[in-house]
Chain A
Amino acid sequence: MILVLIGASILSFVLVRIVPGDPARILLPPQAKQEDIDRMKEKMGLDEPYIKQYSQYVKSLLKGDLGFSYHTGRSVVDEFKWRLPATIELSMLSLLLAALVGIWLGVISATNKNGFADHASRLFSIGGISAPGFWIGLLCIYVFYYKLSWVPAPTGRVNLIRETATGGSGFLLWDAVITGNWDLFKDALMHLILPVFVLSYSFLAMICRLTRTGMIEVSQQDYIRFAKSCGIKKKRIIWKYSLKNGIRPVLTMLGMFLAQLIGGVVFIETVFNWPGIGRYAVDAINFLDYGPIQGFIIFMALIYVVTNLIVDLIYMVIDPRVQY
């Protein structure tokens, strides 16, 4: 796991150093003299040997400094602090929805194997796996905003005229409840619904598929047959005995899901003009901005490592046989 982090730091360092464009030149106006460019390079530390640059980079990483965005002129950590709540609110709600509905559909599908519910939920999940999220997002905007006007225009987290600086944690729903600002709560919720639904769809489909195979496999095992022969109610067997083992494949893939989720966030944030980390990364890439790209890569690796750790811990809870 440490290896993944070290690898990610080297990867992020090397990747942004082989860019053909010179960031010092991009930052200065085109008529800048060569000496100005050199001075800028010196200021940014780009004239040092690579090994020294790297060791300095790692040192500042350990201090929690993710670098500096040459484009916006703000530090990456500040930018992340401001944008992270938006992304977390969006992705965690999506993951929650995907997990709840996905597992439920998977169980229904497995218990009615080859029945109508099974075919319906499998068709539904094939759609989720095969359709690009940004396409579904755009179609939803057309149907629910343009045709039905059930939801507001895709202007990010709130309406354009509203002042977003409400203070607090940055999680708008939570802030609104704390301060009793129901108007803001409604506004934020209406803006959240579509992106959350669209983002969760493809993950819901994957979770549903995995749960289905897991549950079918478990239901053929001896201890389930034994429970049935004891006359325990079917509902209790399914939700209490089978599910614990049935969702193991889902848990194993959770780390990968989260990585995929961040990948999906990039598209959904672009489509819905969501001021989160994904769009920040896309903007940074378009401006050849070293700092945020590096920060984003490190951040991704961190998420991967942390979720795998959490998954291992959850394993211990649901399966006492696993020990470390």
Chain B
Amino acid sequence: MLSNKSKFTYMRKVFMSNKLSLVGAVIVLIFLLIVAFGPIFAKIPPDLIDYDNILSSPSNTNYFGTDQYGRDLFSRVIFGARTSLSIGLVVVTFSTILGLCVGTISGYLGGSFDNFIMRLVDLLMAFPSVIVAMVLATIMGGGIKILIIAMLISSWTGTARIARGETLSLKQSGYIKGTQALGGKWNYILFHHILPNVLPPVLVSATLSFGNIILNIAGLSFIGIGVQAPLSEWGLIISEGREYIVTGQWWLVFFPGLAIVLTVIGLNLLGDGLRDILDPRQRR
């Protein structure tokens, strides 16, 4: 067993040796800084309407140009980062916790409860998460709260599957059997022995699914469900600029989309790097 310090040094070494995951980490860090200190960069308020300055192309005062109401696109994309990333963070946190709990308990208990949960997961997985979220969001009415709930319902299943699989294989291992034989209660075994071992692969999948969730939030807002008009969100900005693409105002669509792509690429690269550290069995 490595001591904690050398374990950390080892992890850092593996992470640093993978340049791509380093790039991913830097991108994610930059976006987190934008979320935290956004207003410092964006001097113009994102909802300031200026009818004298409609649809102007990128310039020195409006770095990303302006939209059909003369609002500064740079500010809107920066403030959009706050909306998109905070919703994504909430969804990914809760869906990971939910999937982790349901998956480990279902895998540990087994039997008919496990069967029921897995059929439910199968059923939810038969539909693309976007469709599930779309139907739910419309049925319960749009808005951010509903968007979060809808995304939660459709995104916990992957985590639950991974957690269940890990638990099933752990359950067979000698030391769990030993603890059981010594009379360890199920909740003690679950929290002290199974959870710490299930956590690494689940964390990796959480990072990777964070990117997917950002894509889905943008997609739902693009169709018109999800984040609603006066707020700024990347998918929403693209949907507002959609009709102007055939008349040549490309910046309305290009910049918010670029922000989405960079964030998701960053998260995916970071996730790959984390997998190399936390889950050495799957290393490529």
Residues of A within 8 A of B130 (CB): 263, 266
State whether the Cβ of A282 lies closer than 8 Å to any Cβ in chain B.
yes
Q: Name which residue of chain A comes closest to B123, CB basis.
A: A7
Total chain A interface residues with beta-carbon distance under 8 A: 50
In the bound assembly, the distance between CA atoms of A48 and B252 in angstroms comes to: 50
CB A74 to nearest CB in B, in angstroms, measures 21
Question: Distance (Å) between the CB of A267 and the closest chain B CB?
Answer: 6
A260–B218 touching, CB < 8 Å = no
Which A residues are CB-close (under 8 A) to B238?
134-135, 138
Chain A hits for B257, CB < 8 A: 131-132, 135, 138-139
What is the CA–CA distance of A114 and B179 in the complex, to the nearest angstrom? 46
- Report the tally of A-B residue pairs with Cβ distances under 8 A: 125
Q: CB distance A129 to B246 under 8 Å?
A: no
| Docked complex Cα distance between A293 and B131 (Å) | 10
Query: Could you say which residues of chain B place their CB within 8 Å of the CB of A141?
Result: 245-246
Nearest-CB residue, chain B, relative to A143: B250
Say yes or no: A135 contacts B139, CB within 8 Å. Answer: no
**B284 interfacial by beta-carbon distance below 8 Å:** yes
Are A138 and B242 in touch, CB under 8 angstroms?
yes
Q: Say if the beta carbon of B260 comes within 8 Å of chain A.
A: yes
B126 & A146 in contact (Cβ 8 Å cutoff): no
Q: Please give the distance in Å from A45's CB to the nearest CB on chain B.
A: 20
Contact between chains at B135 and A146 (CB < 8 Å) = no
For B, the interface residue count at a CB cutoff of 8 angstroms equals: 43
Q: Which residues does chain B contribute within 8 Å of A304, judged by CB atoms? A: 126-127
Question: Whose C-beta in chain A lies nearest to the C-beta of B129?
Answer: A263
Min CB distance, B90 to chain A, in Å?
20
CA distance A312 to B269 in the complex (A): 33
Whether B268 contacts A285 by the Cβ 8 Å rule is no
Q: Is B265 an interface residue (CB 8 A)?
A: yes
Tell me if A291 counts as interface (CB < 8 A to partner B): no
Contacts of A15 in B (CB 8 A): 135-136, 139
Which of B103-111, B170-178, B219-227 binds A?
B219-227
Which one of A126, A135, A267, A300 contacts B265 once the chains associate, using CB atoms below 8 Å? A126
CA distance A251 to B268 in the complex (A): 23
Of the candidate stretches A16-24, A183-191, A221-229, the one touching chain B is A16-24
Q: A20 CA to B143 CA in the complex, in Å?
A: 15
Nearest residue, chain A, Cβ from B120:
A7
0/1 per residue, B241-260, Cβ < 8 Å to A?
Answer: 01001111010011001001
State in angstroms the CA–CA spacing of A271 and B223 once bound together. Answer: 10
9 contacts between A and B (CB under 8 A): A3-B122, A146-B248, A259-B126, A263-B128, A266-B130, A267-B219, A267-B223, A297-B127, A297-B135
